[in-house]
Amino acid sequence: MGPLKIGIAGLGHVGCGLIELVERQQNLRLPGEVKITGVSARSQSRNRPVDISPYRWFDDAATLAEDPDVDVFVELMGGSDGPAKFAVETALKAGKHVVTANKALIAKHGMALARLAEEKQVDLLFEAAVAGGIPVVRVLRDSLAGTEVKRITGILNGTCNYLTTVMLEQGREYEDVLAEAQRLGFAEADPTLDVSGMDAAHKAAILSAIAFSADLDFSKVSVSGIDKVSLLDLRLADRLGYRIKLIAEGVLTDDGVVCRVEPLVLPASHPLARVNGSLNTVRIEGDPVGAITLTGPGAGAGPTASAVMGDVAKMFRPAIRPAFGRAAHHTGRPFVQGAPTEVAPFFLRVYLPDQPGALAALTEALAKEGVSVDKLLQESGEESGAAPVVIITHRCPRANMQAALERLEKIAKPIDAPRLIRIEAAS
């Protein structure tokens, strides 16, 4: 067997990490030799931790993608559209196998690219697009092919998990911890994609499409980030035995697949509540296996490059199977917009005026809407005259909670917008 010839488009942290792995492949368990026959990036002269001079340079990624001396095109450029999308399409049309770490591209255009790959009888692999070094795509698509998945939950953004962990452990406000994370390189200069929940949403959509044989439609994914979660919320939840985490979720309903990302309140004993720092974790629930949890580094040059190399290794004997593992006989399911109609316990934090009757007005508003209180915690009033109150409710419809808050507005106006977060059941 001759060497497997790859072309690498994108020479950032992951691209350079992949080159390092290729250059020390004698220490890896690959089925054969991998040879880099071309590289491409926005700048050839940029200072990089690896020497790219031994490799043919291509100014244009699409030209590299269709080069006759490339067996596998590795796309590490990023971006859901533009050059990355065009280069991947070019490679597939040229009959090249494609490996990508581009979660935004797969979340937005994965279905169309998968159809093109199937038409051209080539593989499209994207293990590195979700959860870095955790092999969750392969586990879902291959290892759990005999499992009927019911639900996927996970912590899919290490930046958000790092922020909430440090805020609680060190008692520091969000803006302070974020600034430090940026200085240390744990967060991007523009952290919007991470803290808004969009990064986790891309990954959740991909996993949901695989798990449920669903037609990936990212426009139906509901997204809410952690940028509005305060230190006070984290601290009060902790005092009551809970943790607040940004949770990605895909669940199969009668109408279709509901995929969403939002902060959830978890009992401290919950498996996801115990995952701290920048780690990622994915919990897969299905029949007949029950629940499986995978935890590990969800980002970074090394783990992501390792996942890319794992996909490259599969190309020595391409499977030529549907990219999302969905065959023609599988039941196709749509993505649907999840309506906020769930019945669950809720965490409610509200600032009330520090005056007689305010707390009574809150409990009265809840009672009028049929909401039963499980736990209540009130802290001393602040200098502003506001008293933070946290209530843990028994299970009730979200609509009842919203109605109670509207009622509260009329009889004892809160000092700021209440924080309402769904509580995940203990597991």
| Fold of the domain built from segment(s) 4-129 | Rossmann fold (3.40.50)
Report the pLDDT value the prediction gives residue 206, as an integer from 0 to 100: 97
Mean pLDDT confidence for 191-216: 95
Contact between residue 233 and residue 349 where contact means Cβ atoms under 8 Å apart:
yes
- How far is the C-alpha of 300 from the C-alpha of 227, rounded, in Å? 22
Domain range 136-297+329-336, CATH class: alpha beta
Going by pLDDT thresholds of 50, 70 and 90, the confidence category of residue 293 is: very high
Cβ density class 143-161: b for 16+ within 10 Å, e for less: ebeebebebbbbbbbbbbb
Res 410 pLDDT > 80: no
- How far is the C-alpha of 71 from the C-alpha of 85, rounded, in Å? 18
Going by pLDDT thresholds of 50, 70 and 90, the confidence category of residue 1 is: low
Cβ density class 75-101: b for 16+ within 10 Å, e for less: bbbbebeebbbebbbbbbebebbbbbb
Res 158 pLDDT > 70: yes
Mean pLDDT confidence for 332-343: 83
Res 382 pLDDT > 70: no
Res 383 pLDDT > 90: no
Task: Choose among 309, 299, 317: nearest CA to 161.
Answer: 299
Res 384 pLDDT > 90: no
Report the pLDDT value the prediction gives residue 359, as an integer from 0 to 100: 85
Contact between residue 135 and residue 267 where contact means Cβ atoms under 8 Å apart:
no
Report the pLDDT value the prediction gives residue 416, as an integer from 0 to 100: 72
Where does 111-256 show beta strands of DSSP type E? 124-125, 148-155, 214-215, 222-223, 242-252
* Catalytic residue positions, numbered: 203
Other residues' Cβ atoms within 10 Å of the Cβ of residue 228: 12
Residues 295, 299, 302, 306, Cα dihedral to 10°: 60
Where in the chain are the domains? Answer: 4-129, 136-297+329-336, 343-422
Q: Which amino acid belongs to residue 47?
A: N
Going by pLDDT thresholds of 50, 70 and 90, the confidence category of residue 201 is: very high
- The rounded mean pLDDT for the chain is 91
Contact between residue 316 and residue 4 where contact means Cβ atoms under 8 Å apart:
yes
Task: Choose among 104, 423, 101, 107: nearest CA to 272.
Answer: 423
Going by pLDDT thresholds of 50, 70 and 90, the confidence category of residue 358 is: confident
Res 115 pLDDT > 70: yes
Mean pLDDT confidence for 282-295: 94
CATH 3.40.50.300 for domain 343-422 = no
Q: Which of 145-159, 370-384, 401-415 has the lowest mean pLDDT?
A: 401-415
Res 66 pLDDT > 90: yes
Where does 168-215 show beta strands of DSSP type E? 214-215
Going by pLDDT thresholds of 50, 70 and 90, the confidence category of residue 331 is: confident
Report the pLDDT value the prediction gives residue 273, as an integer from 0 to 100: 94
- How far is the C-alpha of 283 from the C-alpha of 293, rounded, in Å? 4
Report the pLDDT value the prediction gives residue 427, as an integer from 0 to 100: 63
pLDDT tens figures, 6-57: 999 999 999 999 999 999 999 999 999 999 999 999 999 999 999 999 999 9
- How far is the C-alpha of 129 from the C-alpha of 399, rounded, in Å? 36
Q: Is the peptide bond before 288 cis (omega within 30 degrees of 0)?
A: yes
Task: Choose among 235, 232, 262: nearest CA to 247.
Answer: 262
Res 412 pLDDT > 80: no
Going by pLDDT thresholds of 50, 70 and 90, the confidence category of residue 413 is: low
More confidently predicted of 238 and 427: 238
pTM of the model: 0.92
- How far is the C-alpha of 305 from the C-alpha of 311, rounded, in Å? 10
Q: How far is CA 234 from CA 173, 180, 364, in A?
A: 10, 19, 26
35: enclosing H helix or E strand: strand 34-40
More confidently predicted of 3 and 413: 3
- Portion of the chain with pLDDT greater than 70, in percent: 97
Block residue for tokens 């449920």? 212
Mean pLDDT confidence for 253-270: 94
Going by pLDDT thresholds of 50, 70 and 90, the confidence category of residue 329 is: confident
